[in-house]
Amino acid sequence: MQVSIEPGVLYVVATPIGNLADITYRAVEILQSVSLIAAEDTRRSRPLLRHYGIATPMISLHEHNEASRAKELLTRLHCGESIALISDAGTPLISDPGYRLVAAVRAAGMRVAPVPGPSAAITALSAAGLPTDRFVFEGFLPARPGARERRLRELKAEIRTLILYESSHRIGAALEAMRDVLGAQRQAVLARELTKTFENLHGDTLEALCVWVNQDSNRQRGEFVVLIEGAKDVQEQTVLPDTRRLLSLLLTELPVKTAARLTADLIGEKKNSLYQLALSLDAGSARRSGANFRQKRNKR
């Protein structure tokens, strides 16, 4: 089916994260048909466009020129041109430039059309074997050791699965910081070079992952996604049984936020920690209710 390109529309187009075959038919047709492609790095995008015979003109849009370039692209959209925004790999704006442009286009009342496709974070999560019902994407940790450790301390009590990106030259130090701050026995998965020739997903404790990475320099090469199990046990151990019982009772009658706030007011606990616990209790209750319903239905 032929894709219809609308004038004055910004198309946010996901491109492959490694394997060039991982692109949708719609994405290829849009890239072939728009007036202009705004690419994070035109040199890195050129092999993909050449592979699919796409001759559309390109212009760079990266973190250093996005503010000024957004004004130019907005003017071209107002004049009726159609523009596709792509990053070096994956879905634009996810730890990549493009936020200022998208925000400016939407603020001007013009259409932004997403063209979905690969994302390294979701690709890794789907194959990691860690809980997927709730997760949080943190992107890249700070490069400096002090700032990195402070950020990890802020995440230590997070009960959702953590997803982070890391570069090859910092992966060793980053894993050691995760081990030291989050705990040596915390389970994690290191996803490297996803969809590429040397793709590898390796799961173990943070302590064991530090050893594994340092055993072979080849394991420190490529682009990394680090997935870490949530601190559910740590979170639950900090809450007294009476607090948990009160929160559970309130959840039977009240929304999650209200139950967490009332419990915090009554016992003097921090509202944020109780809210995270309330989310997990509410999810567990929903799963049990669903299981009971299925059992009753199967007995009929």
Strands of the sheet with 36-39, listed across from one edge: 58-60, 36-39, 83-86, 10-13, 112-115
- Measured CA to CA, the distance from residue 247 to residue 263 in angstroms comes to 6
Give the up-direction half-sphere exposure of residue 259: CA atoms within 13 A in the CB hemisphere. Answer: 23
Cβ proximity of 156 and 182 under 8 Å: yes
Sheet holding 224-228, edge to edge: 135-140, 161-166, 224-228, 187-192, 200-205
Helix (H, G, I), strand (E, B), or coil: what is residue 197?
coil
Mention every residue, 6+ apart, whose C-beta is less than 8 A from residue 93: 12, 87, 99, 102
Give the pLDDT score at 7: 95
For the stretch 214-268, pLDDT in tens is 999 999 999 999 999 998 654 444 556 778 888 889 999 999 999 988 988 888 7
pLDDT in tens, 104-159: 999 999 999 999 999 999 999 999 999 999 999 999 999 999 999 999 999 999 99
Which pLDDT belongs to residue 192? 97
| Strand partners of residue 202 | 190
The span from the CA of 171 to the CA of 182, in Å, is: 16
| Residue 284, token pair as written in the block | 């567990």
Q: So what's the pLDDT on residue 18? A: 94
Q: Mean pLDDT for the chain? A: 90
Which of 47-56, 80-89, 117-126, 235-244 is predicted least confidently?
A: 235-244
pTM recorded for the entire structure: 0.76
Is the confidence at residue 289, as pLDDT, over 60? no
**What are 160-172's pLDDT values in tens digits?**
999 999 999 999 9
